[in-house]
Amino acid sequence: MQSRDEIYVNGKWTPSAGDGSIDVVNPSNEAVIGSVPDGTAADVDAAIAAAKAAFPEWSGRSLEDRLGFIEKLGAGLAARAEEIGALISSEVGMPATLSTMIQAGMPAATTAGVPETARNFDFEETISRSLVTREPVGVVGCITPWNYPLHQIMAKVAPAMAVGCTVVLKPSEVAPLNAFVLAEIIDELGFPAGVFNLVSGVGPVVGEAIAAHPDVDMVSFTGSTRAGTRVAEVAATNVTKVHQELGGKSANIVLDDADFDKAIPSAVGAAYLNSGQTCSALTRLLVPAERMDEAAELAAATAAGFTVGPADDAGSRLGPLVSQAQWDRVQGYIQTGIDEGATLVTGGTGKPDGLDAGYYVKPTVFADVDNSMTIAQEEIFGPVLSIIGYEDEEDAIRIANDSEYGLSGGVWSSDNDRAIAVAKRLRTGQVDMNGSFLNTDAPFGGYKKSGNGRELGRYGLAEFLEAKQINLPLG
């Protein structure tokens, strides 16, 4: 059990102003594995006051001084990678081997990459007769999700602190324990008091208190579109800058000249990573209509290889969903797909045989899906792939763009120039060609209801900066 009874404010562990706690449940077996304080608005007030007080001194330090802390932080995360991977595996349900590589490895690598990005960033430039400076925005409230908990934290916290901002973090109450490990590392490294603050709790209390606070200069939010909309509404009262990375319903287009034997198995994996609990998952598979049966057969055979089981079982390729609420939600979508007339190729409702405890879902594939169906339009957040037929390339692009989201996408073709031409016409923030994947040095974010702003690399760094025009004397 990892029972945490204090939050981290102003450089020290301190009791919450409230007396409640939130249990953390292992989704593989439904056992309680820890607890964290159920934070209050008073906790948020204290954390923001500390961040505001720390901002002048922290932002006034040299860039190299701040980057020294970030480099040590990246190393500290890497040193505890095995522990962090196992912890997040027990919080989220990602199979342990993958969790160490992705859930621990990515945040460590992202943090370690921030110093080089910052050193190569143009914080000042001259435009005609003006000096233009890029300065830290101030106090940043970071509200983060449970699916890739530490990676989404570090994609915000590391660049924000590097450029001189101070931070108040509210991690997801579903998977918060990893954030407390981060706070331990920051505390051991001796970061100045108030630069990093951690308040655990639920969104309607802690999240809204952060978003509504007049001393917060920016909110960086990752989560559902519904919750992101609420954060923006609350923050609008103070005209607070809001960065949002929200939902997705991304299309993976397999063009008629693609190698189906490679493309379809890869497409299943692109939909099922983290049991489908990935905002950028490619959950709509677009194939030539005349090859629907071939695609469905290949997808079903691939899905059969995704062995479902506990996250700590070496044979598991697909862990559980994160919670009972998520399980119920995904079951509802699978039933809706059946009711609306999609062809259930494999999977379906209910738990896999022999897995009664834990939030397990059968890896599911639907064929003959029309893009107007619920399972093609709404984010399911589970291992459910919808195969949609198209008539020609123009039709494929039309279907891919027929979504209120625009976070990610994919294109498969034996002709790279053709694939790039299609990728450029997709209204989405990221496109993977022929099974490629996320580049953490390039910008990540979405169009439409998938959010605004970008994370990672120099684009992510720029989100935490304001531009100032200093007009130089004439003559």
CATH of the domain at 233: 3.40.605.10
Which tokens belong to 304?
């059969």
Q: Which among 165, 173, 208, 279 is annotated as catalytic?
A: 279
pLDDT in tens, 161-180: 999 999 999 999 999 999 99
Residue 95 sits in the same domain as residue 130: yes
Residue 47 sits in the same domain as residue 171: yes
**How large is the average pLDDT for residues 456-468?**
98
Q: Is residue 443 included in any domain, yes or no?
A: no
Q: Which among 245, 379, 455, 463 is annotated as catalytic?
A: 245
- Residue with structure tokens 């905002």? 279
R_g over Cα of the chain: 23
Q: Is residue 103 included in any domain, yes or no?
A: yes
Q: Is residue 444 included in any domain, yes or no?
A: no
Domain count, the chain: 2
Residue 234 sits in the same domain as residue 297: no
Task: Tell me, yes or no, if 279 is annotated catalytic.
Answer: yes
Task: Tell me, yes or no, if 142 is annotated catalytic.
Answer: no
CA–CA dist 242, 74 (Å, integer): 26
Residue 197 sits in the same domain as residue 306: no
pLDDT in tens, 197-214: 999 999 999 999 999 999
Q: Is residue 344 included in any domain, yes or no?
A: yes
Q: Mean pLDDT for the chain?
A: 97
Residue 348 sits in the same domain as residue 467: no
Q: What is the pLDDT of residue 1?
A: 79
Residue 216 sits in the same domain as residue 324: no
Q: Is the pLDDT of residue 193 over 80?
A: yes
pLDDT in tens, 258-297: 999 999 999 999 999 999 999 999 999 999 999 999 999 9
Residue 311 sits in the same domain as residue 353: yes
Task: Domain of residue 154: give its range.
Answer: 2-246+450-471
Q: What is the pLDDT of residue 25?
A: 98
Residue 228 sits in the same domain as residue 259: no
Residue 201 sits in the same domain as residue 275: no
Rounded (5°) CA angle 336-319-77: 125
CA-nearest of 154, 166, 77 to 114 is 154
Q: What is the pLDDT of residue 280?
A: 97
Q: Is the pLDDT of residue 475 over 90?
A: no
pLDDT in tens, 105-161: 999 999 999 999 999 999 999 999 999 999 999 999 999 999 999 999 999 999 999
pLDDT in tens, 400-432: 999 999 999 999 999 999 999 999 999 999 999
